[in-house]
Amino acid sequence: MNKLLKELQEAALQRETRRHFLHTCTTGLGAMALGSTLTSCGFFDKKQEQTAANTTAPGEPMTPRPSQFSPKAKRVIYIHMAGSPSQLELFDYKPELVKYHGKDCPQELLEGKKFAFIRGVPKMLGPQGKFAQHGQSGAWISDYLPHLQTVADEITFIKSMHTDQFNHAPAQLLMHTGAARLGRPSIGSWVTYGLGSENDNLPGFIVLASGGKQPDAGKSVWGSGFLPTVYQGVQCRTDGDPVLYVSDPKGMNRDIRKQTIEAINDINQQQYDDVKDPEILTRISQYEMAFKMQMSVPDAMDIKSEPEYILNAYGVDPNKGSFARNCLLARRLVERGVRFVQLFDWGWDTHGTSKDGSIETGLRDKCTSSDQAVTALLKDLKQRGLLDETLVVWGGEFGRTPMQENRDGQTLPFMGRDHHLDAFTVWMAGGGAKRGFSYGETDPIGYYAVKDKVHVHDLQATILHLLGFDHSKLTYQFQGRPFRLTDVAGKVVKPVLA
């Protein structure tokens, strides 16, 4: 009998482990460790600003929550052209640059500057697109984007963007996570952390990629960083099953799968009751979501149910994955209450090292494959009454230089532009953005943003503002301090707000 009691006592202590030690420790170490654990898991001191995101009931991290103030937008479609399209060929019309085409770059534009590839003295490169003004707003858009010209009055162009990073991976991280290093949550994760989701059967944050490759920064650009992993983006495939293993295995019907998940979650719940680790709640939530997705994802991703005129408007082949297909899927997803849809399209890096990577051919081809679909997305959202509450954002991670790229002082075989951090264009539509408006200016050759400059953190602050958040107060306690998307910077660009 004594032996049995001893075994029971040892088993109880085995379950307690560190918690038992910290609980019984009388030196104050237990309280210190407990405090550190709580703050790293998102618990707040009463004096700190607490967001609506931390008011969720245990086990319900994606419950819809109110924003801090009345929002203009309820959801976001963020279209990222990975590699960065040239603003000088698309939106930032610089007739003065034509005069310098083929001439040596002035030395004052090179001194003290770092470029990704340019060395020596490159030649200046005039705009290759034919520009004209469109709509009542008179927005300058080139012939590279003939479809987008028809919706110029729906768009706010921010032409004075600038960033701190000129290499793809850190620039993409900065654009989407607010920091150039790994480990921070993406903007989609921050949004779902703050607002939850309006659909119980689909993830709140869905990612669709095209172009044949992943972004240079990898999946970290839709990761949740130090936020609970329930808020990370879920990448869906556009060929085959949208999500791997979404179908039941042979010999297992839906009832058996449900019983299996219920049994697993019962065990997870017992573990959570013991250790209070919030990641266990994420695990429970994700098991339940995976079960629901077996029914909801195939329906949401089945574009064959769309009428033919919609497929034609987007330029979609229903049997093939493509950027155009992803644009149509984005509309279907926000229509079903998905909070944040991220589209990544790879292949916009036009250095001039190949025909596909050139300004004159490669960029034009990428525009041809995307222009119709993006325009159709804006029109489709508007005709369904969704555009007013859906913020659409389009852009890359930096800009392109007004000089032609060279390598080791040698002119490349095709026209191309190097990475440029001092000036680029991003546009927004719907969701509280001003219609038919251009904000900011660059100098006569498009080298510097010179009027109403907008940093990446300013853009992020503006997106969160349109969703009803003060970016400085949407925070998460981690490693002893509150973190936010905009780090310690960022201001709302109020002139672009409707």
Which residue, 180, 178, 218, is CA-closest to 346?
A: 218
Query: Is 114 part of any domain?
Result: yes
Q: Is 253 helix (H, G, I), strand (E, B) or coil?
A: coil
What is the spatial distance between Cα 153 and Cα 170, in angstroms, rounded to a whole number?
A: 33
Nearest to 188 by CA among 496, 487, 492, 464: 464
Residue 15 has pLDDT above 80, yes or no: no
Beta strands in 99-181 (DSSP E): 131-134, 139-142, 155-162
| pLDDT tens digit sequence for 101-151 | 999 999 999 988 889 999 989 999 999 999 999 999 999 999 999 999 999
Structure tokens at 158: 């921010």
Residues contacting residue 382 through CB under 8 Å, at least 6 positions apart: 154, 430
Is 266's pLDDT higher than 80? yes
Q: What is the pLDDT of residues 55-91, one digit of tens each?
A: 444 457 888 999 999 999 999 999 999 999 999 999 9
Angle at 86 between CA 82 and CA 87, to 5 degrees: 115
More confident residue, 2 or 72: 72
- The answer to whether residue 247 scores a pLDDT higher than 80 is no
Total residues found in the chain within this entry? 498
Measured CA to CA, the distance from residue 272 to residue 117 in angstroms comes to 52
Question: Please, which residues have CB within 8 angstroms of residue 418's CB and are 6 or more apart in sequence?
Answer: 115, 116, 117, 118, 351, 400, 401, 403, 405
Query: What global pTM score does this model have?
Result: 0.83
Residue 14 lies in a domain: no
Average pLDDT, the chain: 86
- Residue 30's pLDDT is 41
pLDDT at 180 over 80: yes
Domain hosting residue 106, numbered range: 75-246+307-496
User: Residue 134 belongs to a domain with what CATH number?
Assistant: 3.40.720.10
Give the mean model confidence (pLDDT) for residues 226-245.
78
Lowest mean pLDDT among 33-47, 80-94, 232-246, 275-289: 33-47
Token pair belonging to 469:
């958040």
The yes-or-no verdict on residue 28 having pLDDT over 50 is no
Is 129 or 411 the better-scoring residue by pLDDT? Answer: 129
Instruction: Determine how many CB atoms are found less than 10 A away from the CB of residue 85.
Output: 28
Residue 469 in any domain: the answer is: yes
Tens of pLDDT along 298-335? 778 889 889 999 999 999 998 888 999 999 999 999 99
Q: Do the domain assignments include residue 480?
A: yes
Please tell me which residue, 30 or 285, carries the higher pLDDT value.
Answer: 285
Closest listed residue to residue 208, CA positions, set 347, 85, 325, 348 = 325
- Tell whether 419 is covered by a domain: yes
Q: What is the pLDDT of residue 334?
A: 97
268 belongs to a structural domain = no
Higher-pLDDT residue of 25 and 477 is 477
Q: What single-letter DSSP state applies at residue 186? A: P
Please state, in angstroms and rounded to a whole number, the distance separating the CA atoms of residues 62 and 73: 18
Residue 295 within any structural domain of the chain? no
Take residue 429 and report the two structure tokens written for it. Answer: 């539509």
Q: How many domains does the chain have?
A: 1
Asked if residue 12 belongs to a domain, the reply is: no
